[in-house]
Amino acid sequence: MSINLSTFIATECASDDRHPVALYQLIHQVAMCCRDIAAAVDRSALVGTTGSAGVDNVQGEEQKKLDIIANDLMMEGTQTHTALAAVASEEMARISRTSQERTAGQYLLLFDPLDGSSNVDINAPVGTIFSILKCPSARAPATEADFLQPGSEQVCAGYAIYGPATMLVLTTGDGTHGFTLERDSGEFVLTHPRMSIPARTREFAINTANTRHWESPVKRYVQECMAGTNGPRQQDFNMRWVAAMVADVHRILLRGGVFLYPQDAREVSRFGKLRLLYEANPMSMLVEQAGGMSSTGQQRVLEIQPHALHQRTPVMLGSREEVERLENYHHHVRRPLPDLVDALRNLWTEY
């Protein structure tokens, strides 16, 4: 008998006393928002919502029309939820407190409303990434500082991927589970319970157009993979790159592999490209709960102490043995001026 998301959540509520019913109700509401976003993506070419919106977001990046639509759908669908104290989005400069005049919300929601939105124009996979934290200010209005928690403090992480089928993948700290949207009923049905990433892989995902900007450990790793059976790894590797983190990570959860978005020479002041709170942390939790590993090359992603709402970080995640190899390569390279780098990191704030 198939298990839908509502049944799965009810079972989790009955068997797991770590989280109250309110959390699972919030997760279900986020899933319904993802279902609405999937519908908006499906009909975008028919109603003229593909392409640029003609404005930049807080990151200084060009917004797509669907970035704005997806952000609005998530905000409208969650703002009145009684368990929620405040929301932060990759597309918004500041947090948004819930519309109800109260301070009793237990949770904070963070999300990237449409990861890989440039792929919409070519009908390639895109997705929504989300993370839920406990709100430490239960008796006072939530503040931006409340969101600056390490990824290890997440109580839920997940994403929806909009491709040939719409899937929702989530974890509350007890395994990573995948649900497929049954379009006729509008229900998410459990199709991939307890997803597991193989420890070994022969597949990696990285944008090799940036090779000249990478640090030497990443160059070494990729060169060894590309050398194939004639190189030190003595095996052939395949390279994949979808240009949407949600799609590349989804592939890894289903069949293994490693995803790399390392720091490069153009991003020294930002310490990476991907957003820690909206992308790196939730994806890292999902990967770790599926038996994989996630690192910056220097430390576990989930142990980073955030200092800004839109902070960025390098990310290397996926099959454990490959991430361990990458960490080993990084640890054997003397980093230039480590004290200066640490000082800059402590002083840096998002502008």
pLDDT tens sequence across 74-119? 999 998 898 999 999 999 999 998 865 555 689 999 999 999 999 9
CB proximity list for 248: less than 8 A, separation 6 or greater? 205, 240, 241, 242, 259
Q: How confident is the model at residue 349 (pLDDT cuts 50, 70, 90)?
A: very low
pTM of the entire predicted model: 0.92
| Annotated binding-site residue? 112 | yes
Instruction: Judge whether 257 is annotated as a binding position.
Output: no
What is the per-residue pLDDT for 266? 83
pLDDT value, residue 323:
98
What mean pLDDT is predicted for residues 310-331?
97
| 350 marked among binding-site residues | no
Q: How far is residue 134's CA from residue 147's CA, in Å, rounded to a whole number? A: 9
Average pLDDT over residues 114-125: 94
Q: What pLDDT, on a 0 to 100 scale, did the predictor assign at position 223?
A: 97
Average model confidence (pLDDT) across the chain: 91
Spans of all domains in the chain: 5-192, 203-347
User: Is 114 assigned to a binding site?
Assistant: yes
Q: State yes or no: pLDDT of 303 exceeds 50.
A: yes
181 with 35: CB under 8 angstroms? yes
Residue 246: Cβ within 10 Å count = 27
Collapse the DSSP code of 5 into the 3-class scheme (helix H, G, I; strand E, B; otherwise coil) and give the result: helix
In this structure, CATH architecture of domain 5-192: 2-Layer Sandwich (3.30)
Query: Is 284 annotated among the ligand-binding residues?
Result: no
Within 209-299, residue ranges assigned H as helices are: 216-227, 245-255, 281-289
Task: Express each pLDDT in 188-244 by its tens digit.
Answer: 999 999 999 999 999 999 999 999 999 999 999 999 999 999 999 999 999 999 999
Alpha helices in the chain (DSSP H): 5-15, 21-42, 44-47, 65-78, 216-227, 245-255, 281-289, 320-331, 338-347
Q: How far is the CA of 199 from the CAs of 139, 247, 288, 291, 322, in angstroms?
A: 44, 20, 11, 8, 8
> Is 116 known to sit in a ligand binding site?
yes
Residue 300 pLDDT > 60, yes or no? yes
153-190 per-position pLDDT tens digit: 999 999 999 999 999 999 999 999 999 999 999 999 99
pLDDT (average), residues 8-36: 87
Q: Which residue has the tokens 């790196």?
A: 280
Domain 203-347 CATH class label: alpha beta
| Helix 320-331 vs helix 216-227: crossing angle, to nearest 10 | 130
Give CA–CA dist 136/151, Å, rounded.
15
Q: How confident is the model at residue 337 (pLDDT cuts 50, 70, 90)?
A: very low
The pLDDT, as a whole number, for residue 104 is 65
pLDDT for the residue numbered 108? 96
